[in-house]
Structure 1
C-alpha cells in the first residue's frame, strides 16, 4: 500500500520497488556504458528498465526514454580526454545533442515543462551559498592536488606543454563542467525528481554523473571525490533552484583542476599547491 508524499508542490504516491527498479536499471546502464566500456550490457540494461517501466508506469517510461536517449547519444563516442580539433568538435556536437534531444522531445513532443534551465531566479546569494562556495575553494585547493598528483590521475589527460594546449584545456574543462550541470542536474535529476523522493532521485543521478566522470578521467580513488560532489550538486540545486549557482560551484572546482593539470605537466607554472605530494 502506498502513502502520499509531498513532491514539487503536489501529492504523489511513494514509489514502489518496481518503479524504482525500472529507473535503477536505466541509470546503472551508465556504469556499463562509461565505467566498464561494455556497450551491449549497457544497452541491455536500458531496454530492461524501459520494459519494466512500460509495465508499471507509463509516465515514468516517457521520462526514462528521455534519460536513455541522452545516455545512448553520449555512448556513441569515447569520453577520454582529447584536446585535438576533431575531438573537441566531436565533444561539442555529441554532448550538445545529448542535452538538446531530451529537451526537444520533452518540450515539443510530450508538451511538458519539466526540463528547464533556471537562470533568472531574482534572488541574491545567501550567506549559506557564499559560505559553501568558499568551502569548495578551500576544500578543492587542499584535496584535489593529493588526488590528481598523488595518484597520477592527471595522466588521464593529454600532455599540456604549450599555450595552445593550455587554452584548449581551459575551454574543454569549462565547457564540460557547464554541460555536466545541464545534463545530470537539469535533465536526469529533474526527471527523476518528478517521480521519486529527493534522496532517491539524487542517488540515481549521481550514478550517471560519476560513471561519466570515470570515463572522462576521474579514476582510481576518484569516486571518493566525485560521488559526494555529485550528491552535493543535486542537493544545492534542490535548495537554490539556481542553475547559475550550481554552475559557479562546478566551474570553481574545475578552475582548481585546470590549475593542477597545468602544473602537473609544467611544474614551474601554477606552482601554488601546498598539498602537492610529488
Structure 2
C-alpha cells in the first residue's frame, strides 16, 4: 500500500497573525494547568479570544470552543486521585469539556466542525500496524524507569484495595480516551481549519502536555509526553481515524497503569526491568 500523505483541511484563509491569539490560548492552558496561575491563565485566555475576533470571526469561533473546554477543565484540579468524590467530579468535568464545545458547535454555530471519525474505511499501513505493537513495548521499556527514577509515581495515590485499583484502572483509560476526544478531535481538528498540520500540532501539544503535567506527569515527564502528543496529532492527521489513535493511546495507558502499580508495590508485578 502506498504511503498516505497528510491532507490539508484548512477551510479558512486565516492571516498569519492569527497564530498570535491562537498561541495565547495554548499558553493560557500552560498557565492554568502547568503553573496553576488561574487569574493570569483566564485573563490571557480572554484576551486571546478578543484578539482572535479582531483577526477573524471564524478563528474566534473555533478558538472559543477550545477556550470553553480549557476553562471547564480549569474549574477543578485534575491531579490524579481515586476517592469516589474526585472520581466522579473529575469525570463530570472532563465530559463537560468535550460535550459543551460539541453542543455549541452543533446548536449555536450550526456547524459540524467537531467530529469523532471512528473509522475511515481505509486499511492501516504496515507502518501503522507496527507502531501499534511498538507502543506498548516502548512503554514497557521506558515508563517504569521514568516513574521510579524521577519519583513521579508519587503523584499518583498508593492503591490499597481492590475497589481503588478498579477505579484507578477505569480512570486511566477514561482520561486516555478523553485526551483523544478533546486534544485531538476537538483542539487539533479545530486548529487544522486555519493552520498547517505542524503549527496546529505544536499548539495542541502545548495544551495536551500542560494538562498531563497537572495530572502527574511531572519532573522530566514532558520529555515523554510532548513527543507522544505530537505523534498522536500527526497520526490523526495521517489516518483520520479516532479508532487508531485511541488504540495507540489505550495500549500505552495499560502500561502506565501497570508501571505505576509496580512502582508503588515493588515485586508485585515482576514483569519490568526496573
TM-score, normalising length: structure 2: 0.95
Structure 1 residue 211 corresponds to structure 2 residue 210: yes
Contact 1:26 1:46 survives alignment (8 Å): yes
Contact 2:83 2:164 survives alignment (8 Å): no
**Count of residues in Structure 1 that have an aligned counterpart in Structure 2:** 268
| Counterpart for residue 246 of structure 1 | 245
Correspondences of 1:1-278 after superposition (within 5 Å): 7-8=8-9, 13=13, 15-274=14-273, 276=274
Q: Structure 2 CA distance, aligned partners of 1:190 and 1:97? A: 18
- Structure 1 residues 149-170: Cα deviation after superposition (integer angstroms, max 9, x where no partner): 1111000001112222211110
Q: Structure 1 CA distance, aligned partners of 2:257 and 2:225? A: 16
CA RMSD of aligned residues (A): 1.3
- Structure 1 residues 205-237: Cα deviation after superposition (integer angstroms, max 9, x where no partner): 000000000000000000000000000000000
Deviates more, 1:123-132 or 1:206-215: 123-132
Where relative contact order (Cα < 8 A, 6+ residues apart) is larger, the structure is 2
Q: Structure 2 CA distance, aligned partners of 1:163 and 1:69? A: 36
| Counterpart for residue 4 of structure 2 | none
Shift of 1:16: 3.4
Contact 1:161 1:265 survives alignment (8 Å): no
Gaps of 5+ in 1: 1-5
SS in 2 for 1:79: coil
Gaps of 5+ in 2: 1-6
Q: 1:9 to 1:59 in 2, by over 3 A?
A: closer
| Counterpart for residue 3 of structure 1 | none
TM-score, normalising length: structure 1: 0.93
Q: Structure 2 CA distance, aligned partners of 1:59 and 1:29? A: 20
Shift of 1:9: 7.2
Contact 1:177 1:250 survives alignment (8 Å): yes
